[in-house]
Amino acid sequence: MGVGSAVVLGALELVYAENLPIGRIALFPFPQQRPEGTTKEAFQAQYRKTILSTSGFAVFVSGNRLEPGSKTAVVAPGVIEEFEIATQLGKIPIPLGASGWAAQQIWQQVSKEPNRYYGTTDVTAQLKVLGEAGRGNNEYIAAMFEMIDKLGR
């Protein structure tokens, strides 16, 4: 919920600046309510699966939430669920572990077993960058796009 507007704005700025077709962007705002007759968990799992089924890669950044009824931040279980769904669907995870929270947990998991998630493609250097705190945004972005380029072949 906290970064959605910035992501949308960044994508739109690029599309407009480079006169790209708006169809290059697919937006899936996460509903804060659910249809009657379904549980919150079932609806969210179905929605996550729908979103992820349209992608080739799943980028994970941060992934925290406030504990209900508290001001304490915790790892967002929904982001972990998204990772599990993505891998079940054969999508390629790209975790920005340096952003902490769920993304860091996902980064740790894929770093331990890169062949499970990336096959024989060597993305060790890019994963290392994504896990190191203190690098600049351009370095993280470059590492992500290098991974996408390598893995998209």
The answer to whether the beta carbons of residues 72 and 64 sit under 8 Å apart is no
The answer to whether the beta carbons of residues 96 and 61 sit under 8 Å apart is yes
Domain limits, the chain: 1-30, 31-151
Q: Which pLDDT does position 52 carry in this prediction?
A: 95
Q: What is the mean pLDDT of each run of 10 residues along the chain (153 residues)?
A: 77 93 84 90 94 93 91 94 97 97 98 97 98 96 96 85
Q: Which pLDDT does position 116 carry in this prediction?
A: 96
Tokens of 114: 């890169």
Q: Which pLDDT does position 29 carry in this prediction?
A: 79
Q: Which pLDDT does position 47 carry in this prediction?
A: 94
Handedness of CA 40, 45, 48, 49 (dihedral sign): negative
Q: Which pLDDT does position 28 carry in this prediction?
A: 83
Q: Which pLDDT does position 1 carry in this prediction?
A: 56
Q: Which pLDDT does position 62 carry in this prediction?
A: 92
Q: Which residue has the tokens 């949308």?
A: 8
Tokens of 39: 């549980």
